[in-house]
Structure 1
Amino acid sequence: YYTETGQKLNYSKDSIWNFHVWVECWMTRKDLGSDMDGWQVLDPTPQQRSNGVFCCGPAPVKAVKSQCIDRKYDIPFVYAE
């Protein structure tokens, strides 16, 4: 919240504007192996930290559908969500 003169008011510690974005992209995954190439899901909406960053993924759709929850990049979180 701000006044008419642009001074910040301390009414809330929440974000001023936060909206949910789900992103899907196609990429090669040399870090996870060629079996995980293809569509990836990402969620850049700040929910919880993943390796110090407020982001989720990129998680291979193949890993989520195959229940490969032992892989990196928040696959267990995406699977549960």
Structure 2
Amino acid sequence: MEKEDKILVLRAVIGVLSGIISFILVKDEIGSLIVPLMAYAFSIGIVYGLIKNVGLTKWDLLGRGVSILFASWLLIFVILYNV
């Protein structure tokens, strides 16, 4: 698996987990909306820690997979909310 693929899969998994946590915190609107931002910050640390030996660019660290993280968060949150 290439480093780009690892970053995308990692951020998708973090997005799914943050969607579940947001659904649990649905009573607290502010907390529910802060969870994906905290997940993004958490994913930066995880990506830097796991893949730093390969040579990350700023795009890999800060940009790659962010849309996947937020899309997976939103999809899981909406699916759980409507069930």
Structure of higher CA gyration radius: 1
Q: TM-score range by the shorter chain?
A: under 0.3
TM-score normalised according to structure 1 size: 0.21
Higher helix share: 2
TM-score (normalised: structure 2): 0.21
